[in-house]
Structure 1
Amino acid sequence: MKTGAGIREHGATVIVAALSTLFASTLILGTGVMTAALDPDLIESSGTFRMVLLMVSAVFIVIALYVGAIVTANTFATIIAGRTRTIALLRLVGASSRKVRSRVAGEGLLMGALGAGIGWVLAELLILAAVTWGPGLGWLPAGREYPRFDPLTVGAVGVVALTTWAAAWAGSRRVGSVSPIAATGAAVELRPDAARGRTARTVWSIILIILGAVFLTLGLLLGMLTPLALLVAFFGGLLSFTGIALGAHIIMPPILRLTGTLLGQGPTGRLAAANAVRFPERSARSTIGLVIGVTLVTMFAVALETYGSMTQIAFESDPALAAALAETLAITTAVFTGLVGFSAIIAAVGMVNTLSLSVLQRTRELGLLRALGFTGGQVRRMVIAESCQMTLAALGFGLLLGVFYGWVAAQSLLGSQAGFAPPTIPWLVVSGIVVFGFILAVSAAVAPARRAIRVSPVAALAVD
């Protein structure tokens, strides 16, 4: 493997591992700093305070790891598609699929450990700067001893590295299906009929979605009786969304076809629309990460906004209490949106990397278009249009899921006090998500498209 190709392939893996570790370690260390900043009269109960903060932090850490694992698995699945010829040659000279998968997983562990180490160092530097300059700037009380290290952060480094290793192993599952005859080709993706033929994956996806729907329904019904119904709804959302992520190769192509009709009827638009659905696995990998990020941010924003509206209804007889709750909710919304937004950034990194790798692996295909008369500008517009199509599909689907999950969360928590209420949509947050999504789409496509069209048609057709 060439050094340049290796950097391009594993750059996102290192970044995702670094971001995940930075996020987890900062939350853990920040919890210790916040505990130390407590008023001395509350020190005796600070252990409980620290435990509550750690539990809240754990939720967001798990979300970040969940997103990071899916992004890493998709990245390695894309890498495997681009290494088809190399893997086939290894199989031809006697290497077993398990040995090749172990080698790929070893790359994941190495890159995960490297990224986790970088993230841990950044988190330590960030906390060191906070406790050094924070008291002088008035951010933290002066005269306190603030922790600069927590053994839990070492555990976070290990968890991120192992998660990356597991995601790399999962992403390389197609190694066993690569035959020696594939050595005559380059990147090989499953076509629609083959993707639909993955029966076990599809069946598990349907089972998880149905189970999730049952739990979500129970959460809504029980929400009219007790706030504890939120726990039931939480498991329903986790199961159903995992089913959606698992079945993305079936779910996303119809949505992509729908958004493809918006690209126009010119040759560039038609080719972009066709490319987005020609290989469902590739399209699913490129979009599902962004779907996760959009769903998470929208879900928390809608849940908190709807919760605020329902709180006003539940406590309309006590305006002072309702106003105090609204103020607290505004602060909570800002903090939670920032925390969940970090996971969305991880998902965005995954989309940019997956799209970049897929474009680079299609150099021969793009060279053929150039040989048939397409200009460099037309190829660039096609790649950008394809990226916009995928982004529009991911944004639309993610927003719908986020609004639904957020409404279910608020309804199951406060339905017993405020009754049935429609979802309240924070349009400012939604607008920000849409703008960010399309900036991401263009930026994700421009750089790899520029690199691809710099190669002459003759040289591109000779690429392995």
Structure 2
Amino acid sequence: MIHERRRLVPTLLAVILGIAFLAATLIMSATIKSSIVAQTSASVDGADAVVSADDSTTIPTSALSRIKARSGVDAVEPAISTTLQRTDRASTIEAHLTPPLSHGTSLASGRLPNNAGEVAINPLTTDSGVKIGQKINLSGFSDDAPARRVTVVGVISPGPRVSTNNDQQVYLDAATLMTLRGEQGYDTIYVSGSGGQDAVAASVRAVPGLDHKGITVRTADAQRDVLTDRAMAGSGAMTGFMTAFAVIALAVGAIVIVNTFGILVAQRTRTMALARCVGATRAQVRRSVMGDALEVGLTGSVLGVIAGAGLAQLIISVAGDSTNIPLANWISVSAASIIVPLAAGTLVTLLAALPPARRATRVPPVAALSPVIAEPTRRIGRVRLVIGLVLFAAGAALLAWAAVGADSMTPALLAGIAGGLMNFAGVLVLAVILIPRLARVIGRAAGRVGGVPADLAAENARRNPGRAAATVSALLVGVTLIVMTAVGAACGQSTINAALDKEFPFDASVTSSQPVTPAMVKAISRTEGVASAGAVPQAALTLGVEGHDDRSTEVTGLGYGPQARSTFRDTAPLKGLDDRHALVQASGVRSSDRVTLKSGGRTLTLTAVVPEGADASLGQVMLTSTTLEKVSPGAQPHQALVRYAQGTEASDVTSALTTALAPYPGASINSAADERAQVQQIVTIMMVLVIGLLAISVVIALVGVANTLGLSVLERTREIGLLRALGLTRRQIRAMFGHEAVQESVAAVIVGLVLGSAYGIAGAYALLGSEGTATMHISIPWAQLAAVTVVALAAGWLASVIPGRHAARISPAVALAGE
């Protein structure tokens, strides 16, 4: 009995691992939701009703006094949130209406602003070097936006009603803030009163001017629900993402559970046969097996929930401060996060144990007299072959349509997921054909090096294809998913980088409302981490097409000199540009047209080159700086292009540029390099998360390989004894099992590499190419795939060590005697 229970340990481990990630996912989701609810509750704390405006409008300033005058209203608190330019540092800053010192907001140092020339800042802004008494410049984003030079008089620690964002913030009076952002009105008004939330909200709704489209009056509780739903929208995708992989871990675990209970049934063949001899019924035998499954399922699920809670707490402790959500210090456990994993683990274990339980009821009483366990003969049926081919073909067709046929992302993703699942299900059905045949081909090559043990291993795969497929089915799932993720991420990153290179072929651009002077370009070039910089002069030109007098239009001419052109990482946008050709993006112009450019009394005729994918709405002509000087002498630059040095940290260079441009008011930076770095960071985080989750399926797969090989030892006792009698040494027996595991693992890896690469490419097309906004770039991460191959093969061999040792201990005499 103790020995049999030890055999159930791998099954218990599979259940624990799968349930741990499912429980961790649900607990993290519950924790995120409770943290968001706490945050949103705090943001409306003390209010009975909230007046809010969407992005298309604002609340009229006159509404504030009208709301105050309503019966039942005791107090109102308006709020404004926007983004302004901080022109003294060429950066942006979050701006808010100066809040009252209540609802979690406190004065850290200094005092509150008293007039239009004063502002307060948050502690994060002080960390960037801004001190009390310092003057800063604030401006809006429009070309004619006013600018204000203001003095910092205090530091405010904002409460949740102001903002919970981890950004630099400035607080100023309503009139100045409205003027700077170029829009009058408030974003939100918090109302407190008497008579209950419904009564206060009803009284406020009667205020004239609040019936405007885009303005909503809600009770405080309703506002909490709205804010919670908005905040949860972003976390729902991640929760679903993690849940999907937890389900995958459970599915892979189910494969291991089936194999483990298969071993249990094989080991207990004689015991169950003797039980049948003394009167046990088929139902009693089935209940015995299912009883073990229930025990393992419940125990593993309970331990998995405990492990998942610990994992969720570890994630919060380590990564809580790095998220945009102010997570609580301790996890929150909901009823669903406990009940769902317990039910799922138990149900999956019971369902996985049903096939072995059915086989157990078929053990005849006469099997008790059999000296050895007979190795089953597993033939490939035609029905299985047809089902597998149909699933594979239908899934492939859906994947192809999702990749190249869908015209929007949602149907592409749905079809891609359905097609991938269907296609892979077909592969698993056909694995009984694919894996043994590939293993035989691999075995022939290995036989030249591994000798007799390798030849015997290949023969074993041919003789029992079902067992060969079962041995590495879980490993095939893990390899396919990891390769799919790696290839899909590589294709996505390559495509996004190419799109960024096309839109921003340089690393950063500095724009200024004032002309860019040589001194500014020199300051940019001397900034640490900058490789090159060049100004781009521009002028208003009139464009005409020879032979078409009616095709005259106003365009902006941009001049690119040697320094500006040296900043381009991708020179494709400048292809065809020289002193005799102009790159034209304007309506009515085709490549090879002769165009005339006019400015003042000067006229210049050039040949037009229309770039691929040109946007005619830009009304733009790209010229060499020499050509622009001919048609518009003295054209002033308002933009400078920047290229970062190779190997530098984009954010550090951008920060250094911000400091270098401080003496130049009106200058602002747009960094494509920062966007590339953010894409890289997102891809890296996703890869670490996914591979970490999928590593669980690989661990479970190892257990599955070891279990199936262990069952093979039981089934092949007589064969192993005969081989030992014919002269095979213990070492050769161990080598035979090692070759068998590696050969079948190589077959699984080959299939997994092909399928995973295809799924990854199709997924990238469905996600990025379906909208037609990006040109897909296929990228294969060869180094990562090589690492996956090495790890999978090493894992397959490692899983064969213990079964190989057990087989090597079989005595020829004992095996042949059937003892």
User: Do these two structures clear the TM 0.5 threshold for a shared fold by scoring above it?
Assistant: yes
Q: In 1, distance between residues paired with 2:327 and 2:389?
A: 58
Q: In 1, distance between residues paired with 2:737 and 2:431?
A: 21
Alignment of 1:415-434 (within 5 A): 415-416=769-770, 417=772, 421=776, 423-434=778-789
Which consecutive unaligned segments of at least 5 residues does structure 1 have?
none
Q: In 1, distance between residues paired with 2:736 and 2:695?
A: 30
Q: In 2, distance between residues paired with 1:436 and 1:143?
A: 36
The alpha-carbon distance between structure 1 residues 25 and 225, as it changes in their structure 2 partners (threshold 3 A), is: closer
* Pair 1:152 & 2:151 matched: no
The alpha-carbon distance between structure 1 residues 50 and 441, as it changes in their structure 2 partners (threshold 3 A), is: closer
Q: What is the Cα deviation at residue 94 of structure 1? A: 5.8
Q: What is the Cα deviation at residue 71 of structure 1? A: 2.4
Q: What does residue 214 of structure 1 align with?
A: 397
Q: What does residue 807 of structure 2 align with?
A: 452
Q: What is the Cα deviation at residue 110 of structure 1? A: 1.4
- 2:256–2:707 CA contact under 8 A, matched in 1: no
Alignment of 1:155-304 (within 5 A): 155-175=340-360, 178-180=363-365, 182-183=367-368, 184=370, 186-191=372-377, 194-197=378-381, 199-223=382-406, 226=409, 228-265=411-448, 266-304=451-489
Q: What does residue 598 of structure 2 align with?
A: none
- 2:256–2:701 CA contact under 8 A, matched in 1: yes
Q: Which runs of 4+ in 1 moved over 6 A?
A: 137-143
Q: In 1, distance between residues paired with 2:361 and 2:392?
A: 28
* Pair 1:345 & 2:343 matched: no
Q: What does residue 411 of structure 1 align with?
A: 765
Q: In 2, distance between residues paired with 1:300 and 1:360?
A: 37
Q: What is the Cα deviation at residue 287 of structure 1? A: 1.2
The residue type equivalent to 2:243 in the other structure is A
Q: In 2, distance between residues paired with 1:293 and 1:276?
A: 21
SS in 1 for 2:800: helix
Q: Identity of aligned pairs, percent?
A: 33
The residue type equivalent to 1:6 in the other structure is R
Q: Which has the higher strand share?
A: 2
The residue type equivalent to 2:425 in the other structure is T
1:105-136 CA-to-partner distances (Å, cap 9, x unmatched) read 332221111111112222233445666x659x
Count of aligned positions: 457
2:10 aligned to 2, 8, 12, which one? 12
* Pair 1:306 & 2:491 matched: yes
1:252-282 CA-to-partner distances (Å, cap 9, x unmatched) read 2211211111222422221111112211111
Q: In 2, distance between residues paired with 1:143 and 1:304?
A: 28
Q: In 1, distance between residues paired with 2:315 and 2:764?
A: 35
- 1:296–1:402 CA contact under 8 A, matched in 2: yes
- 1:31–1:53 CA contact under 8 A, matched in 2: no
Q: What does residue 738 of structure 2 align with?
A: 384
The alpha-carbon distance between structure 1 residues 256 and 17, as it changes in their structure 2 partners (threshold 3 A), is: same
Q: In 2, distance between residues paired with 1:52 and 1:226?
A: 15
Q: In 1, distance between residues paired with 2:724 and 2:415?
A: 55
2:794 aligned to 420, 439, 442, which one? 439
- 1:227–1:414 CA contact under 8 A, matched in 2: no
SS in 2 for 1:146: coil
1:356-409 CA-to-partner distances (Å, cap 9, x unmatched) read 332344333222211221111111111111111111111111111111111111
Q: In 2, distance between residues paired with 1:121 and 1:172?
A: 29
* Pair 1:371 & 2:725 matched: yes
Q: What does residue 23 of structure 1 align with?
A: 21
SS in 1 for 2:501: coil
Q: In 2, distance between residues paired with 1:453 and 1:362?
A: 12
1:32-65 CA-to-partner distances (Å, cap 9, x unmatched) read 4445666744683344445444322322222222
The alpha-carbon distance between structure 1 residues 129 and 433, as it changes in their structure 2 partners (threshold 3 A), is: closer
Q: CA RMSD in A?
A: 3.0
1:434-461 CA-to-partner distances (Å, cap 9, x unmatched) read 2212221222112222233234322233
Q: Which moved more, 1:72-81 or 1:424-433?
A: 72-81
* Pair 1:80 & 2:80 matched: no
The residue type equivalent to 2:4 in the other structure is A
Q: Which has the higher contact order (CA 8 A, sep 6+)?
A: 1
Q: In 2, distance between residues paired with 1:5 and 1:364?
A: 22
SS in 1 for 2:728: coil
Q: What is the Cα deviation at residue 98 of structure 1? A: 5.2
The alpha-carbon distance between structure 1 residues 460 and 233, as it changes in their structure 2 partners (threshold 3 A), is: same
In the superposition, the TM-score normalised over structure 1's length comes to: 0.87
Q: Which has the higher helix share?
A: 1
Q: In 2, distance between residues paired with 1:74 and 1:203?
A: 25
1:262-316 CA-to-partner distances (Å, cap 9, x unmatched) read 2224222211111122111111110111111100111111111111122233443
Q: In 1, distance between residues paired with 2:402 and 2:326?
A: 46
SS in 2 for 1:147: coil
- 2:476–2:749 CA contact under 8 A, matched in 1: yes
- 2:488–2:764 CA contact under 8 A, matched in 1: yes
Q: In 1, distance between residues paired with 2:426 and 2:757?
A: 18
- 2:474–2:697 CA contact under 8 A, matched in 1: no
Larger Rg: 2
Q: In 2, distance between residues paired with 1:420 and 1:257?
A: 42
Q: What is the Cα deviation at residue 420 of structure 1? A: 6.7
The alpha-carbon distance between structure 1 residues 413 and 123, as it changes in their structure 2 partners (threshold 3 A), is: closer
The residue type equivalent to 1:404 in the other structure is A
Q: What does residue 355 of structure 1 align with?
A: 709
In the superposition, the TM-score normalised over structure 2's length comes to: 0.52
Q: What is the Cα deviation at residue 165 of structure 1? A: 0.6
The residue type equivalent to 1:195 in the other structure is R
The alpha-carbon distance between structure 1 residues 17 and 149, as it changes in their structure 2 partners (threshold 3 A), is: same
Q: What is the Cα deviation at residue 247 of structure 1? A: 3.1
The residue type equivalent to 2:490 in the other structure is E
- 1:13–1:72 CA contact under 8 A, matched in 2: yes
The alpha-carbon distance between structure 1 residues 209 and 81, as it changes in their structure 2 partners (threshold 3 A), is: farther
The residue type equivalent to 1:267 in the other structure is V
The alpha-carbon distance between structure 1 residues 432 and 377, as it changes in their structure 2 partners (threshold 3 A), is: same
- 2:22–2:246 CA contact under 8 A, matched in 1: yes
Q: In 1, distance between residues paired with 2:264 and 2:777?
A: 44
Q: In 2, distance between residues paired with 1:433 and 1:29?
A: 30
* Pair 1:332 & 2:686 matched: yes
The alpha-carbon distance between structure 1 residues 418 and 138, as it changes in their structure 2 partners (threshold 3 A), is: closer
* Pair 1:316 & 2:520 matched: no
Q: In 1, distance between residues paired with 2:435 and 2:688?
A: 31
